Amino acid sequence: MPVSTSPQGTPLWQRRTTRAQWLQYAAWMMGMSLFLLCWKVISDNTMWVFVEDAGRQGSDLISRMLPPRWEYASVLWKPMWDTLNIATLGTALGIMMAFPVAFLAARNTTPHPLVRSVALTIIVSSRSINSLIWAMLLVTILGPGVLAGIIAIALRSIGFVGKLLYEAIEEIHPTPVEAISATGASRLQIMNYGVLPQVMPAFAGISVYRWDINIRESTVLGLVGAGGIGLQLNASINSLAWNQVSVIFVMIFVTVLVSEWVSARVRHAII
Amino acid sequence: MLTLTGVGKRYPTGDRALDDIQLSLPKGQVMALIGPSGAGKSTLIRCVNRLVEPTQGSIRLEGTELTTLSGNRLRHARRSMGMIFQEYALVDRLTVMENVLSGQLGYVGFWRSFLRRYPTEAVAEAFRLLERVGLPHAIDKRADALSGGQRQRVGIARALLQSPKLLLVDEPTASLDPKTSRQIMRLIRELCAERELAAIINIHDVALAQQFADRIVGLRAGQIVFDGQPSELTSDILTTIYGEEEWDTSPEPVEEVESIEEIGHHHGQRPYATPRPLTGLASGGAR
């Protein structure tokens, strides 16, 4: 905080020193230049012939999609139901595995720093791989089908739920935990009485939020053969049946909308 | 009953919180521990139940050396030391009854406590205690629905459900209004007399300490600088404990106590809350 004195003797205050101010201008300048440079590189690498008729291609695609072939919906109920099941069972499985991992990963509840680093590794490796990639791996191992989808969703959810939950555990109020320890409670009792009630709202909120995300993710798992509506989407695109693709889009859109509404209501009720 | 010999605590940062503390507490004695913020009061009582690990010295409770205990034996020793906290330290999302019953955690196994299936005698005792602290109507409320004074009563009931021999009380009134503070201190005092409990009470309010304690210990920078009767506490001694201040502006503590009992609307006005002249404030920083 640069403070100086004016010729009249009144103290002056500026937010930054002149030097810091110039450095800031320079940083902005560099950032802008980098952005423009990247813009140029991308522009040079774009085949503009394809972009120029983008409007025509786009409207062509839309005209093929319309009107949607609504009869096709009758084939979709079963895969849609599979998709919901993959999301829900996968989330449940993921939460069950994430719950103990989070307690082992939180600094204030972990039994040993070594255990903590193992738990953190589990969380990071689960998070670093997208569920689509998990599904690809699992389809190779387990064969195509709903099971591979469920496990893919579960494995991806461990990292998400585990990370947010362990952060919630680290942010709890320490005094109730102290008070429960002072009664002579055992470690598990301290978790049960001191920690768990404090993280319960966060835990419920995180779980419902992850379920909501998983519904969206499970709609594409079929692209790699892991069951659900993505299988039909893939088949329709491959056979250029665009009027079926639009039906699938509408269906996914409505499902996601409903799941968002449900998760918002549940979170509101808990918190 | 409780004996501290040469107790010291040095934090990993190098700060010396306690230095060679010698203290002996007979059965049934209520001792107030006063001293400025950071003098080590909280550290001292937390060393007794090992929420903080003392780095040297010995602490014995009825012949048991506490500093070397670990695991189950530490848990068993903690059962006989009830603790009461400044911010009540209740678990907000649990009911009043669950909070009180958590005082039994040292006696029951995990699954019983997880399923909330406490022994009948413990539940009966919890009902009696809630009645005794004046909260029989609040059993099913959630702890965060109560007022400060009520929450502290729940905290007291929880500590007593441990059937302790010793109460460790950390700033019980710091978050309470003057009237509630008195009620809470009186309640702790009465309960100690009823059950012959010894107590160490950390407290900032010197007037309350003088009124409700049998003995006052003054702590400054981790060392005991005063140990005596409440009546022996003079302005000079307060200066030794807290540093230079115009203690004389407070009325004589004993009179203060009596006058407050008589004049209802003056409840609990603290002696040093009387406004001081502005010049005193201005020069305060220069001292």
- A35: its two tokens: 């952005």
Task: Specify whether the CB–CB gap between B67 and B57 falls below 8 A.
Answer: yes
- What is the three-class DSSP state of B97? helix
Mutation for B interface: A172, A183, A271, most B CBs within 10 A: A183
pLDDT at B268 over 80: no
Q: Residue B218: pLDDT band by 50, 70, 90 thresholds? A: very high
Q: Residue B258: pLDDT band by 50, 70, 90 thresholds? A: very low
- Does residue B4 fall inside a structural domain? no
Regions of chain A with pLDDT less than 50: none
- Does residue B278 fall inside a structural domain? no
- Bridge partners of B5, per DSSP, are B58
Can you give the pLDDT at residue A165?
95
Can you give the pLDDT at residue A93?
95
A175-203 tens-digit pLDDT: 999 999 999 999 999 999 999 999 998 89
- Does residue B274 fall inside a structural domain? no
CA-angle at A70, arms to A64 and A72, nearest 5°: 95
pLDDT at B261 over 60: no
Kindly give, in sequence order, each residue whose CB lies less than 8 Å from that of residue A219, ignoring residues fewer than 6 positions away. Answer: A83, A228, A229, A230, A233, A252, A255, A256
CA distances from B143 to A130, A229, B96, B153 (A): 42, 48, 5, 11
Q: B116 CA to chain A: closest CA distance, Å? A: 11
Determine, for residues B102 and A180 on separate chains, whether the beta-carbon distance falls below 8 Å. yes
For residue B177, give its domain range: 27-50+68-263
Determine, for residues B94 and A192 on separate chains, whether the beta-carbon distance falls below 8 Å. no
A&B contacts, CB < 8 Å? 79
- Does residue B121 fall inside a structural domain? yes
End-to-end Cα, chain B, rounded Å: 43
- Does residue B6 fall inside a structural domain? no
Kindly give, in sequence order, each residue whose CB lies less than 8 Å from that of residue B164, ignoring residues fewer than 6 positions away. Answer: B79, B80, B81, B82, B197
Can you give the pLDDT at residue B254?
54
pLDDT at B91 over 50: yes
Between helix A196-221 and helix A131-142 the angle, nearest 10°, is 70
Within 8 A of B91 by CB-CB distance, chain A residues are 176, 180, 193-194, 197-198
Across chain B, mean pLDDT equals 84
- Does residue B216 fall inside a structural domain? yes
Determine, for residues B79 and A200 on separate chains, whether the beta-carbon distance falls below 8 Å. no
Can you give the pLDDT at residue A226?
81
Can you give the pLDDT at residue A224?
84
Token match 């320079």: residue?
A: A26
Whether the bond into A67 is cis, omega within 30 of 0 = yes
Percent of chain B with pLDDT over 70: 86
Can you give the pLDDT at residue A167?
94
Helix locations, B106-234, DSSP H: 110-114, 120-132, 148-161, 178-195, 206-212
Can you give the pLDDT at residue B250?
55
Within 8 A of B170 by CB-CB distance, chain A residues are none
Side-chain-side CA neighbours of B46 within 13 Å: the count stands at: 18
Q: Residue B274: pLDDT band by 50, 70, 90 thresholds? A: very low
CB atoms within 10 A of CB A144: 17
Nearest Cα residue to A79 out of A250, A224, A217, A252 = A252
Helix locations, chain A, DSSP H: 18-45, 48-52, 54-65, 73-105, 113-128, 131-142, 146-170, 174-182, 187-190, 196-221, 230-238, 242-270
- A151: its two tokens: 């496990």
CA distances from A120 to A92, A130, A160, A202 (A): 20, 17, 12, 19
- Does residue B12 fall inside a structural domain? no
- CATH number of the structural domain spanning residue B190: 3.40.50.300
Q: B102 CA to chain A: closest CA distance, Å? A: 7
Can you give the pLDDT at residue B253?
53
- Contact status of A234 with chain B (Cβ, < 8 Å): no
Within 8 A of B64 by CB-CB distance, chain A residues are none
Which residue from B minimizes the CA distance to A189?
Answer: B110
- Contact status of A243 with chain B (Cβ, < 8 Å): no
Determine, for residues A183 and B105 on separate chains, whether the beta-carbon distance falls below 8 Å. yes
CB atoms within 10 A of CB B141: 15
Within 8 A of B104 by CB-CB distance, chain A residues are 183
A 181-210 residues with CB < 8 A to B: 181-186, 188-189, 192-194, 197-198, 200-201
Within 8 A of B89 by CB-CB distance, chain A residues are 175-176, 178-179
Widest distance between CA atoms in chain A: 85
Can you give the pLDDT at residue B252?
56
Q: Side chain identity at B74, as an amino acid letter?
A: L
Identify which of B83, B93, B107 has the shortest CB distance to residue A182.
Answer: B83
CA distances from A9 to A6, B138, B245 (A): 5, 65, 37
Which residue from A minimizes the CA distance to B74?
Answer: A184
Can you give the pLDDT at residue A9?
83
Can you give the pLDDT at residue B99?
93
CA distance A122 to A137: 17
Between helix A146-170 and helix A73-105 the angle, nearest 10°, is 40
- Does residue B7 fall inside a structural domain? no
Nearest Cα residue to B109 out of A192, A177, A198, A176 = A192
Mutation for A interface: B42, B91, B129, most A CBs within 10 A: B91
Within 8 A of A189 by CB-CB distance, chain B residues are 105, 110, 113
Q: How many domains does chain B have?
A: 1
Question: What b/e readout covers A168-193, taking b as 16+ CB neighbours within 10 angstroms?
Answer: bbeebeebbbbbbbbbbbbeebbbbb
Burial degree of B167 (CB within 10 A; 0-12, 13-18, 19+)? buried
Within 8 A of B158 by CB-CB distance, chain A residues are 179, 183
Determine, for residues B91 and A175 on separate chains, whether the beta-carbon distance falls below 8 Å. no
B106-119 tens-digit pLDDT: 999 999 999 999 99
Determine, for residues B89 and A179 on separate chains, whether the beta-carbon distance falls below 8 Å. yes
Can you give the pLDDT at residue B276?
46
Can you give the pLDDT at residue A102?
94
Where does residue B12 fall: left (phi above 0), alpha (psi -120 to 50 degrees), or beta otherwise?
A: alpha
